[in-house]
């Protein structure tokens, strides 16, 4: 019984983080695609959301093909996690890890670029 409020807080935190990732995507994609993703997130778009999410995940898995890309996998998983609550926490943790590694990698690239410019 003591874990119930904590569990609710963790779910709320995961939902807030998922919303943050959707907002990041929203800022980076064209306006039409952004509007379409927002429509997919609405509760009445459940059936279409599940179909699109599965297609995105499969497209991400087959990203070695010319038309498909790895970008499809996280977007598909984000859409699925809207409805499959137990995926939210591990997905948020994975995306946060990837985001942290990306920030670290950009910092390393910047260091290499500066060291090349200064000749050190």
38-93 pLDDT per residue, tens: 999 999 999 999 999 999 999 888 888 777 788 888 889 999 998 888 888 898 89
Residue 69 · residue 60 · CB < 8 Å: yes
> How far apart (Å, rounded) are the C-alpha atoms in residues 117 and 120?
8
- For 82, the domain range is 3-118
Number of domains in the chain: 1
Q: What is the pLDDT of residue 8?
A: 54
Provide the angle, in degrees to the nearest 10, between the axes of the packed helices 72-81 and 46-61: 150
pLDDT exceeds cutoff 90 at 25: no
- Residue 18 CB contacts under 8 Å (≥ 6 apart), including other chains: 78, 81, 82, 88, 91, 92
Neighbours of 49 (CB within 10 A): 20
Q: What is the pLDDT of residue 9?
A: 62
Taking the whole predicted model, whether its pTM rises above 0.75 is answered as no
pLDDT exceeds cutoff 90 at 6: no
Q: What is the pLDDT of residue 3?
A: 39
Q: What is the pLDDT of residues 95-114, one digit of tens each?
A: 889 889 989 999 999 888 88
Q: Burial-class residue 112 by CB neighbours within 10 Å (0-12, 13-18, 19+).
A: exposed
Q: What is the pLDDT of residue 2?
A: 36
- Residue 17 CB contacts under 8 Å (≥ 6 apart), including other chains: 92, 95, 96
């Amino acid at each position: 019984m003591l874990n119930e409020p904590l569990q609710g807080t963790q779910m709320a935190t995961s939902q807030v983080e998922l919303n943050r990732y959707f907002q990041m995507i929203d800022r980076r994609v064209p306006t039409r695609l952004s509007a379409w993703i927002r429509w997919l997130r609405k509760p009445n778009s459940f059936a279409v959301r599940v179909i699109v999410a599965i297609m995105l995940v499969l497209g991400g898995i087959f990203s070695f093909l010319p038309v498909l890309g790895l970008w499809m996998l996280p977007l598909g998983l984000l859409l699925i996690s809207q409805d499959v609550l137990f995926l939210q926490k591990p997905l948020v943790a994975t995306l946060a890890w990837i985001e942290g590694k990306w920030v670290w990698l950009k910092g390393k690239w910047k260091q290499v670029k500066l060291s090349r410019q200064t000749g050190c």
